[in-house]
Amino acid sequence: MHPSTQNPAHGLRLPLWLLALALGFCFGQVSASHEANEPSDGTVNSFRWLQNPLVLPETSLQRWQVEAVSLSSFKGKIVLLNLWATWCPPCVYELPALDRLQQRLGNEEFVVVTVSVDHDPGLAHNLFTGKLALANLEFYFENPERLGKTFPLDVLPSNFIIDREGRATGMLRSYVDWDSPAADEFVKRLLAGTLPARPQN
């Protein structure tokens, strides 16, 4: 657990607590019983869906030596938002597959946005552009305390689906096999508007 998120009450405000409520689990219990509350089989089948899309507040994302952008700047696209950190082995393992997903399916309608929540963005940038040599993803980072006001950061990696209107529709806080044919089918169904099939509370 990240030091800044050890207190379950920290940052419990809209939309974080509403997101937790809409997804049917108590945010304060997630860190203690993640598997029981959010079971995952490592595939896109474990995504959880909101009955009603959740409008997100204005959220900035920093870029390396470039001006920051707003999450709302991606409106019009379906966004797969991935939150990660260098100290999280599953996160690092997942990034190359996300890079390949962006290469295969990224276009004017779909984009993978990965955001480092490291306190040392330089370390994350070196891993991202150096050892991992990710060529298809842009490097984004954000202060975890600031980003934690919008998204829960007690479990990483975290993957969120944001629709064309900039609203959160679903999430999966676990590693995902993004190289699988099921992942490609998942994205294609998102683009076609056929997911989620049966939203969950």
Q: Which residue has the tokens 């969950």?
A: 200
Q: What is the pLDDT of residue 41?
A: 85
Amino acid 54: pLDDT: 87
Domains of the chain: 46-192 (3.40.30.10)
What tens-digit pLDDT sequence spans the chain (201 residues)? 333 333 333 333 344 434 554 444 433 333 333 556 677 888 999 999 988 888 899 999 999 998 999 999 999 999 999 999 999 999 999 999 999 999 999 999 999 999 999 999 999 999 999 999 999 999 999 999 999 888 888 899 999 999 999 999 999 989 999 999 999 999 999 999 988 654 454
Rounded Cα distance, 94 and 128, in Å: 12
The predicted pLDDT at position 28 comes to 34
70 φ/ψ angles, rounded to the nearest 5 degrees: -95, 145
Q: How far is CA 187 from CA 21, 26, 110, 132, 182, in A?
A: 25, 28, 8, 24, 9
pTM score: 0.82
Whole-angstrom distance, CA of residue 153 vs CA of residue 42: 19
